[in-house]
Amino acid sequence: MSSGFWASLLCTSAFFASAAQAESAKPMALSSEFQENTRMEKLVFSGESFRSSPDGMSKIRSNNDAEVYSSGERYFPVMLVETADFKALDSAFMFRLFNEEGFKENSVYGSVRDYYIESSGGKFKPTFDIYPVKLSQNFSNYNSESKFILSSIDVMVERADFKARASKYEKVIPFVILHPTSKEQASKINSGFFNHMYSLQYSAGKIYSKNGYSFNNYAFVSQKAENKPNATSTKDVAMLGAFIHEFSHVIGLVDLYSADANGYATIGPLPFDVMALGLRNGNGGYPPTFSAFEREAMGWLKPTELANTDSVYELKNLSEMQAYAVSNPNNKNEYFIIEYRPAVGFDSKLGSSSYSGKQGKNGVLIWYIDYDARAFASNDPNSNQSHQRVEVKTVLSKNQESFTGFEFVNNIDKAAIQGIYNIVFDGNDRVCFTVNRSKSLDKCPENKVVSSSSADLPHSSSSVAKSSSSAVAPKSSVAAASSSSKATDFANLPKAAHNVHLHVSHEKLAVEVPVTGQKTLRFYDALGNVVSTYMFKETFVSFDVSGRKRSVFAVLDVDGRRLLTKRIQFR
């Protein structure tokens, strides 16, 4: 297969109807934009640019620059454009939305950077440099996409801060450009100004160079929320999910939604995937993290093929970068993926989407994948309603549920694994199951990280860390916790445990405990010794855990009452 630059094939976008349509009883219309977008993609398609890994698992991307800049610490310029008739949103706020660890304003779970660190298990850590760009003319005067973008680049490259940062960027710079109005208003000005990803070598006819800097792939996204064309308040910023969806195209992913004959988004893994309509989960503030399929395509995760044994299989939360596969023995590009997504973090709103159609739920997701290079290169692999190439077959959400559908649409052969049985959930950390129907399983095997009594050992005063100096918390949540004199509601502690989040990323431990009271978080090693203790009253804090490399057992108490026990792996 050719290893041509596949990203240039993706003139991509999430094409959604207005908020009024989203509130209607019928699924959301994609209108004519989707069909036009697909037509343009096919015009630039020039061959098979996708591949498979040597062992058969599918890679969505070809061996190109996209694979280089989706790992490690990477830097991307973001042009925050203002025109004579439309003001840009506050640049400091936009920098925080894109980069701040644990960003919680406007009802979002985290920043754009947080999303990619979480999805990659810390293997991809992007920084988005925000550059305000002011254009002298009205938006409507920029009557082509290339004129608008090239004019913006010309301003950006003259900035002293860009010149100081430019050495951190790629040789040919991928970028984000945020136009200063809503996507509906932009499309009225120019039908081509919808949210999308494209390449300057096609929209401008060349890879553009200015002052010695070269630019090509970009995400073109609105700054303002739907139907808020003249907004100036940061409360009216566009959906977090929209920024993430379009930039995910830049690093190599394709759209997984499609439309029926009436132009409505009815197929694809709609609420389960940010490359489908999952970008609208939680009103756009909780886009689901990349699936195991997408993480494998990025080179971040390697699914484990299930074997037909009497073993009890442990499947960890997807955040631990684990998944299983069941493959067609005669076609390794056709397979199922099994992943576990509890209702935590970005994945906690699968069942709450502003999309009016199908809602999701959390649990063990069984994905069906039928990878075909040309179907994916068209950026519409799910166009055939009767044969979805990427879909969630079912979600197992209760103990003892089973799935026995490991058969293949192509009917080339049967899988050696007939199904998974006896699902047992062990909190948000893991589930266990068997592949033998007759083997009984009532609970997950005991976790031997610590002894059964270690959680009750007294803590060492010498290991107490001060949270006041290291906490990075939204002011609203800190103020709410410190100003409240209400006693801890012990009756609701078991329920509150489901909303506690402990997340390690970028050498920081973010802790979210949505109840009042004195919190004590202790870490124990495998022998039951206290490693460290953190004490705090806030509902959200962040601690420096740099240098830690091992797995520990975390025990969280609130006013002396046990709320949560959890194993944490420091990377």
Question: Where residue 542 sits, what CATH number does that domain have?
Answer: 2.60.40.3080
Predicted local distance difference test score (pLDDT) of residue 285? 97
Q: What is the mean pLDDT of residues 548-568?
A: 79
Say yes or no to pLDDT of 175 above 80: yes
Q: At a CB cut-off of 8 Å and minimum separation 6, what does 332 contact?
A: 52, 55, 56, 57
Q: Are residues 55 and 20 in the same domain?
A: yes
Which domain, by its residues, includes 84? 71-251
Say yes or no to pLDDT of 17 above 60: no
pLDDT in tens, 94-105: 999 999 999 999
Report the number of distinct structural domains present in the chain: 3
Predicted local distance difference test score (pLDDT) of residue 130? 98
Query: Using an 8 Å Cβ cutoff, are 128 and 96 in contact?
Result: no
pLDDT in tens, 256-275: 988 777 777 778 899 999 99
pLDDT in tens, 456-486: 332 222 222 333 222 233 333 333 333 333 3
Q: Are residues 382 and 474 in the same domain?
A: no
Could you give the residue ranges of the DSSP H alpha helices within 445-524? 475-483, 493-497
Q: Tell me the C-alpha distance between 460 and 375, whole Å.
A: 59
Predicted local distance difference test score (pLDDT) of residue 524? 80
Q: Are residues 113 and 23 in the same domain?
A: no
Q: β-pairing, 508-512 with 501-505?
A: antiparallel
Beta bridge partners of 304: 324
pLDDT in tens, 306-318: 998 888 999 999 9
Q: Are residues 246 and 260 in the same domain?
A: no
pTM (predicted TM-score): 0.74
Other CB atoms within 10 Å distance of the CB of residue 143: 11
Q: At a CB cut-off of 8 Å and minimum separation 6, what does 379 contact?
A: 9, 10, 11, 12, 37, 38, 41, 254, 255
Q: Tell me the C-alpha distance between 510 and 471, whole Å.
A: 9
Predicted local distance difference test score (pLDDT) of residue 400? 94
Q: Are residues 261 and 246 in the same domain?
A: no
Q: Are residues 206 and 334 in the same domain?
A: no
Q: Are residues 57 and 200 in the same domain?
A: no
Percent of the chain scoring above 90 in pLDDT? 54
Q: Are residues 346 and 199 in the same domain?
A: no
Say yes or no to pLDDT of 420 above 70: yes
Q: Are residues 237 and 326 in the same domain?
A: no
The one-letter amino acid at 11 = C
Which DSSP symbol is given to 12? B
Query: Using an 8 Å Cβ cutoff, are 557 and 543 in contact?
Result: no
Query: Using an 8 Å Cβ cutoff, are 57 and 202 in contact?
Result: no
pLDDT in tens, 195-249: 999 999 999 999 999 999 999 999 999 999 998 999 999 999 999 999 999 999 9
Q: Are residues 210 and 85 in the same domain?
A: yes
Q: Are residues 379 and 263 in the same domain?
A: yes
11-25, 356-370, 499-513: least confident range: 11-25
Strand (E) positions, 389-505? 390-396, 421-426, 430-434, 464-466, 501-505
Other CB atoms within 10 Å distance of the CB of residue 495: 10
